[in-house]
Structure 1
Amino acid sequence: MSQAATLLVIDDEPQIRKFLRISLVSQGYKVIEAATGGEGLAQAALAKPDLVVLDLGLPDMDGQQVLRELREWSTVPVMVLSVRASEVQKVDALDGGANDYVTKPFGIQEFLARIRALLRQAPQAEAGQATASFGPLLVDFAFRKVTLEGVEVALTRKEYALLAQLAGHPGRVITQQQLLKDIWGPTHVDDTHYLRIVVAHVRQKLGDDPTTPRFIITEPGVGYRLVAPSTLE
């Protein structure tokens, strides 16, 4: 990873953002800032950063939630930077998809070294895409919006999470256990009835007949996949 890497800093404290911006820019990085979780998720999709620095105490949503939603569609490395120093918070963040965790106050040299290490570890990491289209179906990751034939489809949080997970891997089968773990958590990997209900609701809202599916394909006993875009052309 070259020093031209783009870093997204999601933190509601202006002084922290300024300090990080000055420190990171001095090392040759490009820095994008967001003061809220919602803005951060939008920037992550639109700007496609190489790494995200995430505070957990945000004004509009908890950083753990930001991390969960980001991981629904992106593998970008995430460095959590937070005053929360408890082992439980650290474990939750790392289990939720964070790549590293630094507590405030912090030493800038160690912080920069950890940034360099994360960028080296994931030189081929794919940045999240802003949208994914499947014929008349469009999934907008930045604004968490789904449209069909240009009309917005009202989905619940779990319904959107399912569709976003499938849309992030078009044509690929995502196992039932993986979907349950990512959407409901690791304690629900055997609750397949949850998944069946949500899949049925999403299909109904998309007008997708399970016997002759246009979008969501069931791989019996394995999982689900969203048809590859080329098959809809």
Structure 2
Amino acid sequence: MSSNTVLEPHIPDQLPDRGGRRILVVDNDADTADLLVNRLRRHGHHPASVKGGSAALKAYEDADLVLLDLELPDLDGLEVCRAIRSMSRVPVIIVTARESELDCVLSLQAGADDYVVKPYGFRELMARIEAVVRRAQWQPAAAAEIEHGRLSIDAGAREVSVDGCEVALTRKEFDLLHLLASHPDTVMPRRLLLQQVWGDSWSRRTLDTHVSSLRGKLGDSGWITTVRGVGFKIGNG
């Protein structure tokens, strides 16, 4: 069994209650994930587990809370956290063996709601889950619109305008622009953009083609800035 496995023989499992939450466990260690899923289920929750970041980005929308490891086989856990936070307000708790202050700070900056170091106490984890969910319920609703200089994005209506003039975009063009504009001070890695917007269905030129099309429709190549060797970020047009 993994050295990170959580063992608490002196803490009895509780009977299921009716207030269970849908919890997504994202962990590369199958033994640790299975044990945690079983403990959560016995406490009345409805957990599911995935092993990688790509799978997490497909599954988080069905969860009330995400328990996310940083050590994943395909994507970096911080990238996954940023991607989830860019599109959703679902609470995210980082559960990892990394115990440095820097990892904790980076995780919180990436949008995590809390940070738990393995090995941890299960009672503590349950308390943190309830505290994070409780805080999330008190947060105001996210803004439906993004204003970035002369650029306006209405997420609800999926409409984009520049200087008040509507710009007709395809579904993927809108998703790409919205993701970039949601992080105005962040360079978004190419791999993360591809995964978040296209999932597993994309070719090598997919992202470049859509960026070029977006620049043309927005009327200025400056709206999307290329950061060589890294990815793209929203510009000022």
What TM-score do the two structures reach when normalised by structure 1? 0.60
Structure 2's unaligned 5+ residue stretches are 1-17, 143-156, 160-167, 190-208, 224-234
What residue in structure 2 maps to residue 108 of structure 1?
122
Counting only pairs closer than 5 Å after superposition, residues 80-229 of structure 1 correspond to structure 2 as 80-123=94-137, 137-138=170-171, 146=172, 160=176, 162-166=177-181, 179-181=184-186, 183=188, 204-206=212-214, 207-210=216-219
Q: Once the two structures are superposed, what CA deviation does each residue of 1:193-227 show, in whole Å capped at 9, x if it has no partner?
A: xxxxxxxx96741451539xxxx9xxxxxx98xxx
Against the structure 1 CA distance between its residues 115 and 137, is the aligned structure 2 distance closer, same or farther, given a 3 Å change threshold?
same
Q: 1:6 aligns with which of 19, 22, 44?
A: 22
* Whole-angstrom CA distance in 1 between matches of 2:138 and 2:47: 20
Describe the shift of the 1:71–1:165 C-alpha distance in structure 2 as closer, same or farther (beyond 3 A).
Answer: farther
Q: 1:163: Cα distance to partner? A: 3.1
Q: How far apart are residue 30 of structure 1 and its match?
A: 1.0
Which secondary structure state, in structure 2, belongs to the residue aligned with residue 52 of structure 1?
Answer: strand
C-alpha separation in 2, matches of 1:82 and 1:34: 15
State the match for 2:37 in structure 1.
21
Deviation at 1:124, TM superposition (A): 6.3
- Aligned residues of 1:73 and 1:165 also touching (Cα < 8 A): no
Cα gap change, 1:32/1:165 in structure 2, threshold over 3 Å: closer, same or farther?
Answer: farther
Query: 1:167-207, CA deviations, whole angstroms, 9 ceiling, x for partnerless residues?
Result: xxxxxxx6xxx6124859xxxxxxxxxxxxxxxx9674145
Kindly indicate whether the alpha-carbon contact (under 8 Å) linking 2:173 and 2:210 is maintained by their aligned counterparts in 1.
no
User: How many percent of aligned residue pairs carry the same amino acid?
Assistant: 32
Can you give the 5+ residue segments of structure 1 that lack an aligned partner in the other structure?
139-145, 149-158, 167-173, 185-200, 217-222, 225-233
Partners in 1 of 2:52 and 2:186 — Cα distance? Answer: 26
CA distance in 2: counterparts of 1:105 and 1:203, whole angstroms: 43
Q: Tell me the distance in 2 between the aligned counterparts of 1:133 and 1:11.
A: 34
What residue number does 1:152 align with? none
CA drift at 1:123: 2.0
Give the Cα separation in 2 of the matches to 1:179 and 1:105: 36
Separation in 1, partners of 2:113, 2:187: 16
- CA distance in structure 2 between the aligned counterparts of 1:42 and 1:63, rounded to whole angstroms: 14
Question: In 2, distance between residues paired with 1:147 and 1:181?
Answer: 19
Q: What does the per-residue CA deviation read over 1:70-89, in whole Å, with 9 as the maximum and x for residues that have no partner? A: 22211211100000000111
The verdict on how the C-alpha distance between 1:209 and 1:105 changes in structure 2, with shifts beyond 3 A counting, is: closer
RMSD over aligned CA atoms reads 3.3
Work out the number of aligned pairs and report it.
164
Amino acid at match of 1:103: V
Higher relative contact order, structure no. (Cα contacts within 8 Å, ≥ 6 residues apart): 1
2:59 to 35, 38, 43: 43
Residue aligned with 2:137, SS: coil
2:64 matched to 1:59? no
